[in-house]
Amino acid sequence: MFNRKLFSQKGLLTLVALMSGNLVAMAQQPAAGNGAAALSSTATTIRSYGVAANTIVLAIGLIIGLVGAIRVYSKWHNGDPDTMKAVTGWFGAALFLIAVGTVLTAFFGA
């Protein structure tokens, strides 16, 4: 009716696969506590970078804002027809930096 040799090989392979899977799962259980502690420590460390990252973004924004303001003033003073385009780009960059600051604050939880 059925091939006993094939059935016994399948059964033996299934048994070996289940036993090896259980051994791997049991070996990883003690290490799970250490991994959780490491992840918690890493999360705390990353959150501590939030204030510094926000300060760096604000400093970069200040420099870019000053350069942009000087550029817009120069174009306006010289009567350049593309002054409105420069103002729009400068204002868009300022809005982007405000959004990035908000996202960084939310991401780092600072």
Q: Is the pLDDT of residue 94 over 70?
A: yes
Does 107 lie in the same domain as 55?
yes
* Residues 76, 62: Cα–Cα separation, whole Å: 21
Does 71 lie in the same domain as 24?
no
Q: Find out whether 93 and 68 touch, Cβ atoms under 8 Å.
A: yes
Does 43 lie in the same domain as 95?
no
Does 54 lie in the same domain as 108?
yes
Does 101 lie in the same domain as 65?
yes
Full residue range of the structural domain in which residue 29 is found: 1-48
Q: Which residue has the higher pLDDT, 78 or 37?
A: 78
- pLDDT confidence of residue 70: 92
Query: How many domains in the chain?
Result: 2
pLDDT in tens, 12-67: 667 667 666 666 666 555 555 667 777 788 778 877 777 787 788 888 888 888 88
Does 59 lie in the same domain as 102?
yes
- pLDDT confidence of residue 56: 85
Q: Is the pLDDT of residue 84 over 60?
A: yes
